[in-house]
Structure 1
Amino acid sequence: MTTTLPGGERLLYGCMGLGGDWDSEKYGSQDIAAAEAAVEAAVDAGITVFDHADIYRRGKAEAVFGEVLSRAPGLRERITVQTKCGIRLADGDRPGIYDLRGDSILQRVEESLTRLRTDVLDTLLLHRPDPLADPAEVAEALMSLHRQGLVRAFGVSNMGAAQIEELQAHLDVPLVANQLEMSLARRDWLEAGVLVNTAAAAGNGFPFGTVEHCRRNGIRIQAWGALAQGRYTGRQETDREQRTARLVASLAEAKGTTPEAVVLWWLQRHPARIVPVVGTASPARIRACRDAAVREPELAHEEWYDLWLTARGEPLP
């Protein structure tokens, strides 16, 4: 079975769109067929890492993926399966909360393994920071899962450098991933580093130093929302998005690839070796991302900046 994110994977497939409607409690045969088509397209595109969370489609995303694995002998041995825990969805009058108590982590992992129909997770990410979490208790739960052979590696999601450092201090294994929202549209992670000593820095909420911390410690950054909800490859709602989409299309034509690949290359071109997560459920759009999985980012220094500045809509400070 494959190991997780040592550095070779260029692209992940995000499974949040699988499993039918968010509001329904069950999935049907059409949802399984749609999941099979998406997984097949991802594998055809050269993607071998599949990203889940226990809350996606209220557990149905993991469940339909488990159905796909059960119908495809040998597939599990050729792919990496990653999931997340730590968010509890709203239930009746009770609002959604974060929950990284040790017992909760253990329970959620057991439920994910059952839904995914696998005996081990390649990677487990902690989905969101829980302000009440005791890092030592969290680490003990994670190490228990590791000792039992239920989880091979661990990471975090939506966490800053200080939070990662605090958890790592209690762990006997290195954290391997941090999943953050990053795209040509969501650029606060990038601009935090260039707005230092400017008035605009106060309006940037990204925890400065997080990208640098991950690079320094070998933590692979995974970018969720990497296609920017199709802003530059499908629908455009503003003049700036239209200008950026035209530039993306022009670069794609010049390089013999797709607009989707250009948008993903923009992330991959960063020296942090960012790994985009492709979340579309459309097999055609998944296959359109193939060059981001199998080709090095073919963006010159100036082309990368052209994309950034066009999407930004104003000069750098």
Structure 2
Amino acid sequence: MLVALDPSLALVAPLLPSALVCPGALRALMATASELPPVASGAALECRLGSSERVDLVMAVSGHAGGHRALLRRRGELVSPVWRRVLDFCAEWARPGSLLGVEVPAVWLEFDVVGERHAPPPLVFPCVDRHMFGARPPGETDEAHRAACAQVITRALPLLLGSELDPAVDAALARCVALLPQRAHVSYLGPLAPRGREAIRLGAALPSGAISGYLDRIGWPGPTRQAEEAASMLAPYASRISVQLDVGADVLPILGLEIECTPGDRSFAPLLDALSARGLCTPAKREALPLWPREAQVALPNHRWPSRINGWLSLKLVVRPDEPPEAKVYLGFAPSLPLFG
């Protein structure tokens, strides 16, 4: 099911707690969404839990739903250099039997929303785990997944960069993948060039108890104590934590740690209280977080019957040198196809 984000966002707007998405932020999101092609299978709003009111937009494009082909049909409208590289990626992604078609189930397009202006170029993060949205076969080995991931890196990044990957960056990425612990797997990757950074973001899901050892092995140069504290805050609430690294010729000192939460689940209340007590989450946002629903009924455009919106939520802590950690939350939503359309 592919939908346009601006009318979908307008329908979801009454569900958004104003403490998390203030009216000004919602207007900026709508301005960005109105310029995006109608190819979304879901979306997420990236909200800062501190005093910042900025909210960014993330759009999911599903290969299974034909999002890649829908994007290609918009070739005449998407003419910026970044979008042209996205379309180059989609052309191969949509080709039956291609490496990208087999290994990439979806792509995340992230838009940095700053004020009510034209939509910025997207950051493009292909999911490189073919089992991301389903059960992982018990017989699949870590080595098989990492070999497939290495192939995707070799093919996908040159398409998205418009040039060959720097050998030093390629070597650093390969090292980060090779040193992953057992039962860890790469989730996504993508270039940060639209932000003016010559680095690749790499996301991997690790057992929560394996993070410190992994950061040591790859020589992560950031504030180790803050990273350990952030991991220890999240570990009681998830058996696996998404570790997000920025990789240039060396691993860079910024780190994201993210867990999935069930909307409305009261077991996460102590974590929210701890974030609030540390000044990482304002009291108003702490009270607003449990209001995001797990599901709701909304009437989507051009549908006679209401659709169910499935809500999801994830929480991220970002660690940087010489700064306190930053807490963020992603308010996710995806429509389900109505019975009679």
TM interval, shorter chain, is: 0.3 to 0.5
Higher share in helix? 1
TM-score normalised per structure 1: 0.35
The normalised TM-score by structure 2 is 0.34
- From the two aligned structures, give the one with the greater strand fraction: 2
